[in-house]
Amino acid sequence: MSSQPIGVFDSGLGGLTAVKQLRSIMPHENIVYFGDTGRVPYGNRSVSTISRYAKQDARFLLSHNVKMVIAACGTVSSTVLDLGDVLPVPYINVIIPTAAAAVEATKNGKIGVIGTRATIGSCSYKKEIEKIDPKIQVIQRECPLFVPIVEEGFISPDDPIAKLTVERYLSDMKAQNVDTVILGCTHYPILKQVIGEFVGESVKLIDSGKETAIYASKLLKKENMLNKSDSAGECSFFVSDRTEDFTNTASIFLNSNIGDNVTRVDIWNF
């Protein structure tokens, strides 16, 4: 069991923010990643469509004999609430660890949440924060253009399109003096530097991919499911559309060339 891979999925590149952290916290773990690049973005779709896609993504990971499934996607985590019930292995999503980290981080009790339309519409982070501390004020904003900007590879800190879009979406939130912002979509940490420069360095940015990876490592340890091997873990990447675009942007983001270690799959078969 322990040497089986951890399965991670997202609608595209965003879940790599969790993979990057998983590799740094648990370097001996094997990882299978699926990015649904043929059907990204999920965030503007109906709950029934997102649910159908997420269940196919999870079944694909199970076909690789994973020991845990991580929905490294704010949209799936916010809208597909029964996913854990239909899986035979431990399942975690991004909401609980990310909300807890934001509550821990805020000093002035004002937390901003940014995410896709589906995530913000579900109020998932807001509800979770209010469960922990009902006095906290939560200011939400949907940012639907961030996902296509990342998928297009406009991710350099001085990219003019990324900078302008960040300014357009986050001006109101900045004016409301939040001291903590949840990057509630796993694509957004890829734009962390642009976002950070706009909101100012005193504002703490909570990375949902990172918090979820920390949470996963604690759970695997508690359940005695960590890989006992001393060798470096292997990571395999799968996508549902052209591999080239994914390889380029993923290599930049992960700081390692993933080369031809990306395979295209027909996700409709799962």
Tokens 């909570």: give the residue: 206
Task: Answer yes or no: are the C-beta atoms of 210 and 182 closer than 8 Å.
Answer: no
| 42 lies in the site for ligand DGL, by CB under 6 A | yes
| 73 lies in the site for ligand DGL, by CB under 6 A | yes
Q: CA–CA separation, 18 vs 23, rounded Å?
A: 9
Q: CA–CA separation, 235 vs 75, rounded Å?
A: 24
DSSP label at residue 229: -
Residue 185 is among the residues annotated as catalytic for this protein: yes
Catalytic residue among 123, 143, 185, 235: 185
Rounded least distance, CB 14 to ligand DGL, Å: 3
Catalytic residue among 73, 123, 143, 235: 73
Q: CA–CA separation, 258 vs 16, rounded Å?
A: 12
Taking CB under 6 A as the criterion, the residue among 6, 11, 89, 205 binding ligand DGL is 11
Cis peptide leading into 41, omega within 30 of 0? yes
Work out the angle between the directed axes of helices 192-199 and 160-175 (0-180°, nearest 10).
40
Taking CB under 6 A as the criterion, the residue among 22, 32, 40, 92 binding ligand DGL is 40
Contacts with ligand DGL, 147-166, as mask; x by CB under 6 A: x-------------------
DSSP label at residue 155: -
Rounded least distance, CB 135 to ligand DGL, Å: 27
Contacts with ligand DGL, 86-125, as mask; x by CB under 6 A: ------------------------------x--x------
Residues 167 to 226 in contact with ligand DGL, rule: CB under 6 A: 185-187
Nearer CB in complex with ligand DGL: 122/180: 122
Residue 73 is among the residues annotated as catalytic for this protein: yes
Nearer CB in complex with ligand DGL: 77/227: 77
Q: Which residues of 76-107 are buried (b: 16+ CB within 10 A; e: fewer)?
A: bbbbbeebeeebebbbbbbbbbbbbbbbebbe
Maximum C-alpha span of the chain: 50
Known catalytic residues?
Answer: 73, 185
State the residues that interact with ligand DGL by CB under 6 A.
Answer: 10-11, 14, 40-43, 73-75, 116, 119, 147, 185-187
